Amino acid sequence: EAAVTQSPRSKVAVTGGKVTLSCHQTNNHDYMYWYRQDTGHGLRLIHYSYVADSTEKGDIPDGYKASRPSQENFSLILELASLSQTAVYFCASSDRGNQDTQYFGPGTRLLVL
Amino acid sequence: QQQVRQSPQSLTVWEGETAILNCSYENSAFDYFPWYQQFPGEGPALLIAIRSVSDKKEDGRFTIFFNKREKKLSLHITDSQPGDSATYFCAAMNQGGSAKLIFGEGTKLTVSS
């Protein structure tokens, strides 16, 4: 069954440390996305990618980097984690021919102390 | 600037009642409006969607009503069940633009039995 998986599922990080969140999809989809979810803000797009080795800035990219080394994998990197980056992070994928529908992973709960 | 707004923030209905979730948007270029359903601890999943050429979309107990002139839409859940308790996100996309969804803040629905 096609799926989007994320690792880790939860993480505690220290302020100023580096954090890498990983996403893997078996949907054979071209497009991948990273969102953060905060209470009262819904889902906000951080970075996205149309194709391997290329990434695009979303609506709130500051403080985040993204890497798409292959069609299946998309990582979100926090070089210097800050308290304000405590949130739940979701990865999603969509097909180029049906980009309307995004398939989400289960999320990563990040706590920055 | 929140381009997609939802109300109410939370809603409680009795089992068997109709729940009405509201959504409004600002960008006239938006032409595709999906609703995503999210259960606690999971990622959002597409529930139902409507394109701007239609004013109504039904799928079982779920119906979207769309008013293009007023830039408003609503999700009606008839015969609400406890299993419908979840957070519902309204989203919008300009299908002629980038493959980006803009999400509202969400409405948390509780169905009491």
Residue pLDDT, tens place only, B26-74: 999 999 999 999 999 999 999 999 999 999 999 999 999 999 999 999 9
Specify the pLDDT at position A4: 97
pLDDT above 80 (res B2): no
Average pLDDT over residues B14-34: 96
Domain that holds residue B49: 4-112
pLDDT at B67: 97
Answer yes or no: are the C-beta atoms of B23 and B36 closer than 8 Å.
no
How many distinct structural domains can be found in chain B? 1
Q: What is the pLDDT of residue A56?
A: 95
Q: Is there a contact between A55 and A46 (Cβ–Cβ < 8 Å)?
A: no
pLDDT of residue A77: 98
| Burial of residue A64 (number of CB atoms within 10 Å: 0-12, 13-18, 19+) | buried
What pLDDT is recorded for position B95?
82
- Residues of chain B found within 8 Å of residue A29, distances taken between Cβ atoms: none
List pLDDT tens digits, range A19-34.
999 999 999 999 999 9
- Are A25 and A70 within 8 A, CB to CB? no
Contact B99 A50 (CB under 8 A): yes
CATH number at residue B27: 2.60.40.10
Q: Measured in whole angstroms, how far is the alpha carbon of residue B6 from the centre of its chain? A: 8
pLDDT at B98 over 80: no
Contact A45 B106 (CB under 8 A): no
CB contact under 8 A, B34 and A48: no
B43·A107 Cβ contact <8 A: yes
Chain A interface includes B65 (CB < 8 A)? no
CA–CA distance, A35 with A58 (Å, rounded to integer) = 9
Which of B36, B100, B105, B108 to mutate to test binding with chain A, by most A CBs within 10 Å of its CB?
Answer: B100
Which residue in this structure is represented by tokens 């529930």?
B47
Q: What is the reported pLDDT for B91?
A: 96
**Predicted local confidence at residue A39, as pLDDT:** 79
What is the DSSP-derived secondary structure letter of residue B42? S
Asked if pLDDT for residue A1 goes beyond 70, the answer is: no
Nearest 5°: CA angle at B78, between B75 and B79?
150
| Residues of chain B found within 8 Å of residue A50, distances taken between Cβ atoms | 99
Nearest to A83 by CA among A28, A27, A41, A38: A38
State yes or no: pLDDT of B97 exceeds 90.
no
Mean pLDDT for the stretch of residues B88-111: 91
Nearest CA in chain B to A43: B103
Give yes or no for residue B24 having a pLDDT over 80.
yes
Mean pLDDT across the stretch A10-25? Answer: 97
Q: What is the pLDDT of residues A62-102, one digit of tens each?
A: 999 999 999 999 999 999 999 999 999 999 999 887 778 99
- A31 closest CB neighbour out of B44, B89, B99: B99
